[in-house]
Chain A
Amino acid sequence: DTEVTQTPKHLVMGMTNKKSLKCEQHMGHRAMYWYKQKAKKPPELMFVYSYEKLSINESVPSRFSPECPNSSLLNLHLHALQPEDSALYLCASSHEAGTGIYGYTFGSGTRLTVV
């Protein structure tokens, strides 16, 4: 199994809603990542989990809350988002955080629209 699975594929939420994005991988990877991507821009790193512990938080607003329940799962909890948070949210995984030659495997992403 060489996939990273993200759900849902599309999400529309109001500014007062609470929702969660989910990501799952069964490749035995020990590092998982959340990226945010706006149109015509490269992916922008949000969080890095290494061995189920948060190792990097790129000064992301607290309305985004990551969670890594186990080595295969990564969640992103959303609360009180703003319309400018609308973007493609990408989950990725890799063998180890930052090392190795194999790069990251990306999920298909969640297209989030905040209304």
Chain B
Amino acid sequence: QKEVEQNSGPLSVPEGAIASLNCTYSDRGSQSFFWYRQYSGKSPELIMFIYSNGDKEDGRFTAQLNKASQYVSLLIRDSQPSDSATYLCAGLSGNTPLVFGKGTRLSVIA
């Protein structure tokens, strides 16, 4: 069974701090990983994807992938109250559909 595990939170950080969201996966054949942000009552929005070991930065967001440890993370620098949402980690392997983790609820406190 291919699984993606996330801590459901809530993760609370003060405004301006770095939020660190983590995800582990069971399928070593997984090739690509995605971070989706989902506001309450809205649909998931893709904010980052990563498929190579190491870091990938886009503005305030940095995705990190460590295939040896089967670990994916998302760092949000200078967190803002508008970043408060549920963050879904998802993995893609071969021809199987995207596998989602349960999501981590992030709360940024002003």
Binding site for B on A (CB under 8 A): 33, 41-43, 45, 48, 56, 88, 90, 97-109, 111
> B34 and A103: CB pair below 8 A?
yes
Binding site for A on B (CB under 8 A): 31-32, 34, 36, 41-46, 49, 51, 88, 90, 92-98, 100-103
27 contacting pairs across A/B (C-beta < 8 A): A41-B102, A42-B88, A42-B103, A43-B100, A45-B98, A88-B41, A90-B43, A98-B92, A98-B93, A98-B94, A98-B96, A99-B95, A100-B32, A100-B92, A101-B32, A101-B92, A102-B49, A103-B32, A103-B34, A103-B46, A103-B90, A103-B92, A104-B46, A105-B46, A106-B44, A107-B43, A109-B43
Residue among B43, B45, B90, B93 with most chain A CB within 10 A: B43
How far is it, in angstroms, between the C-alpha of A70 and the C-alpha of B36 when the chains are bound?
A: 28
- Taking CB atoms, residues of chain B closer than 8 Å to A33 are 97
- Taking CB atoms, residues of chain A closer than 8 Å to B96 are 98
How far is it, in angstroms, between the C-alpha of A90 and the C-alpha of B44 when the chains are bound?
A: 9
User: Which 6 pairs from chain A and chain B are nearest by CB?
Assistant: A98-B95, A42-B100, A103-B34, A106-B43, A109-B43, A101-B32
How far is it, in angstroms, between the C-alpha of A46 and the C-alpha of B46 when the chains are bound?
A: 20
> B97 and A108: CB pair below 8 A?
no
Distance (Å) between the CB of A113 and the closest chain B CB? 13
Q: Across the two chains, which residue of chain B brings its CB closest to A58? A: B97
How far is it, in angstroms, between the C-alpha of A98 and the C-alpha of B44 when the chains are bound?
A: 18
Interface of B is mostly: strand
- Taking CB atoms, residues of chain B closer than 8 Å to A105 are 46
Residues A103 and B102 in contact in the complex (CB < 8 Å), given A42-B88, A90-B43, A108-B42: no
Q: Which residue from B32, B34, B95 sits with its C-beta under 8 Å from A97? A: B95
- Taking CB atoms, residues of chain B closer than 8 Å to A97 are 95, 97
Q: Which residue from A42, A100, A107 sits with its C-beta under 8 Å from B101? A: A42
- Taking CB atoms, residues of chain B closer than 8 Å to A45 are 97-98
- Taking CB atoms, residues of chain A closer than 8 Å to B46 are 103-106
